[in-house]
Chain A
Amino acid sequence: MVPDPECANRVAAAKAGSEEAWRFLIETHQGSLIRLAWTMTGDRELAAELAQETFVEAFVRIRQLRENGAFGAWLRTILVRAARRHFGRQKALPPRETEDRRTPEAEAIGGELRAAVDQALASLSPPCREAMAVAMAGGLSSAGAAALLGCSPEAYRVRLHKARRELRRLLADFLQE
């Protein structure tokens, strides 16, 4: 991914304690980060929570970031870890009902599609969901995505292939329209 000079400058200002720089960085990256979190969870509310947790962690650890231009990739790494921690904690809890995930937003126009996609993503195994999320976020080669997920490029490709196959099966009705 090509580092954004403006973003790098803002990261330098954020390291110096500028809250305005932080606001810029949050507003620049919040959309992509929430989408990535949503693909990793299939849950819109949880995605926003994980994105917030990611920004907060970045806020307190910003001085550990060596290359200011790699801020976006660094955020994704933090998010992947946060999602894994979340699902690690969730293992001890009973699975939530699918209906619980439906929000008023999902009930509006297009709500059926959103609910179906949410459900399809949530039904994937975590490794497949992570691979799908990183692929959807874009900007990374197979090697880069594999490095982010801590697996080999081959494993990443296999997981992504499985994820796409499963999503095509689960969303077949919508794909035929």
Chain B
Amino acid sequence: MSAPEDPKLDALLEGAAPADAPPGFADRVLAAARLRRRRLLLTRIVVAVAAALAVGASVGLLSRPRGTPPQAPAVAQVEPSGIATPAAEAGGCAVSFAPTEQAQRYTIIGKVNGTLILINRPIGEPQQLAEAPMAMFGSLSPGGEGPSMAVRFPDSTAEE
């Protein structure tokens, strides 16, 4: 060591220094180390689970179709009142069933803000629609087959 040494001072400090570790020091260290290791392990598990959940949530969000309209309703599950014809001119409507000779009403299925709407329009009595609309609202619910949607209209005939 290039710093000036002072043997007398060093001896004095050595003499005053703690002789050894307190009794049971090694046991205390090992117990504290085991506790620290368990805490670290627990922390890593919590972080890993949180990361896995975050990744899962991200993948779920990314895999959801965005900006594309939902699948058309499973029309087969709705009993039509007539012959189905495309209704391109009807904004928001998916299918319009034109009346047959025997039919007494139009049945129009449309979607507004994600809600499926069934409109029963009596034939030849348009004024009744304004006074007492016979529109019914159905709910969209996930169907059993892929992305198709089932349509349920609770007791629609009773409304007529």
Contacts and interface: CB of A to CB of B under 8 A. Distances in A.
Interface string B1-32: 11110101110111111111110011011101
B4 to A, nearest CB: 7
Given A34-B21, A48-B22, A60-B37, 20 more contacts: A19-B30, A22-B30, A26-B29, A31-B19, A31-B21, A48-B18, A52-B28, A56-B32, A59-B36, A60-B33, A110-B15, A113-B16, A116-B16, A136-B10, A136-B14, A161-B4, A164-B4, A164-B6, A168-B6, A171-B12
A30 interface: yes
B32 A175 contact: no
Contacts of A22: 30, 33
B21 A56 contact: no
Contacts of A117: 12-13, 16
Contacts, number: 96
Per CB-CB distance, the 8 closest pairs between chain A and chain B, nearest first, are A59-B33, A117-B16, A30-B21, A160-B3, A26-B26, A55-B29, A56-B33, A35-B17
B53 interface: no
A31 B20 contact: yes
A39 B17 contact: yes
Nearest to A167: B9
B40 interface: yes
A174 B4 CA distance: 20
Contacts of A168: 6, 9
A150 B19 CA distance: 29
Nearest to B3: A160
B33 A44 contact: no
A2 B8 CA distance: 27
A38 interface: yes
Contacts of A90: none
The prevalent SS among residues of A at the interface is helix
Interface residues of A, number: 40
Contact of B3 (A35, A56, A157): A157
A27 interface: yes
B24 to A, nearest CB: 11
B10 A141 contact: no
Interface in A143-169: 156-157, 160-161, 164, 167-168
Contacts of B6: 164, 168
A123 interface: no
A51 B4 contact: no
B8 A175 contact: yes
A47 interface: yes
B7 to A, nearest CB: 11
A30 B25 CA distance: 8
Interface string A97-130: 0000000000000100110111000000000000
Contact of A60 (B3, B16, B26, B36): B36
B42 to A, nearest CB: 13
Nearest to A37: B18
B30 A141 contact: no
A20 to B, nearest CB: 10
Contacts of B20: 30-31, 34
Nearest to B22: A48
Contacts of A52: 25, 28-29, 32
